[in-house]
A and B are shown apart, each in its own frame.
Chain A
Amino acid sequence: GDSVTQMEGPVTLSEEAFLTINCTYTATGYPSLFWYVQYPGEGLQLLLKATKADDKGSNKGFEATYRKETTSFHLEKGSVQVSDSAVYFCALSDRGTDKLIFGTGTRLQVFP
């Protein structure tokens, strides 16, 4: 079945460092791909999305490109801030069933 694999955390960075969180997926069709963010004590909220191959989703300085050839959707940010500290989830939505499946999450900790 469909699945999402993302790098384990925690990822620990200094402020203004470059961030990459890897995400790969397995799907029978052509899913939509998402990154969600979870701040402490809160539910998940959408960070960005891409609905077809080669689409780039972006928001708040974060970017991710839908790569069908490598089945990947890696999250990047050029310069992280302390306020970016959170747990980041990669997810896919199966077009046929609308089933929304998440990876296990990657905790990001940014220090001043």
Chain B
Amino acid sequence: DAGVIQSPRHEVTEMGQEVTLRCKPISGHDYLFWYRQTMMRGLELLIYFNNNVPIDDSGMPEDRFSAKMPNASFSTLKIQPSEPRDSAVYFCASSITQGNTEAFFGQGTRLTVV
């Protein structure tokens, strides 16, 4: 398996534009996590899914953020409209059931909103 695949690796966009980040989890994994990493706040859990169903979205900063998982092999994180303070590295991770198992991370999407 190629691991967790995120796209794009880098995104530069203007304030007010819509941004969509994509993630393909490892086949057979039934948990998918979205994280945001910044210098100030470290690694924040935004939302996670189990079997394609959102379980906890309490980390989503505001209504401008939304995430979907239409099937077991694909998830999106959308920001609309984007703002400069959304600039960060966004990571997707997946794991199999049971909390004592390893989560595998993608390489992240570096988002810059200007």
Residues of A within 8 A of B71 (CB): none
Q: Are B55's CB and A97's CB within 8 A?
A: yes
Query: Mostly helix, strand, loop or mixed at chain A's interface?
Result: loop
Say whether B97 faces chain A, with CB atoms less than 8 Å apart.
Answer: yes
Q: Are A32's CB and B91's CB within 8 A?
A: no
CB distance from B82 to the nearest CB of A (A): 22
CB distance from B93 to the nearest CB of A (A): 7
The total of chain B residues at the interface (CB under 8 A) is: 25
Residues of B within 8 A of A105 (CB): 42-43
Question: Counting chain A CB atoms within 10 Å of each CB, which of B91, B97, B103, B107 scores highest?
Answer: B103
- The CA-CA distance from A41 to B89 in the complex, in Å, is 10
Query: Mostly helix, strand, loop or mixed at chain B's interface?
Result: strand
Say whether A12 faces chain B, with CB atoms less than 8 Å apart.
Answer: no
With A42-B107, A105-B43 known to touch, is A97 a contact of B56 (CB < 8 Å)? yes
Closest to A104 in B: B42
Q: Which of A32-76 contact B (CB under 8 A)?
A: 32, 34, 41-46, 49, 51
The total of chain A residues at the interface (CB under 8 A) is: 24
Q: Are B45's CB and A102's CB within 8 A?
A: yes
- The CA-CA distance from A51 to B100 in the complex, in Å, is 6
Task: List 5 A-B pairs, Cβ < 8 Å.
Answer: A31-B99, A34-B102, A43-B107, A98-B95, A99-B45
Q: Which residues of B contact A (CB under 8 A)?
A: 4, 31, 33, 35, 41-43, 45, 48, 50, 55-56, 91, 93, 95, 97-100, 102-103, 105-108
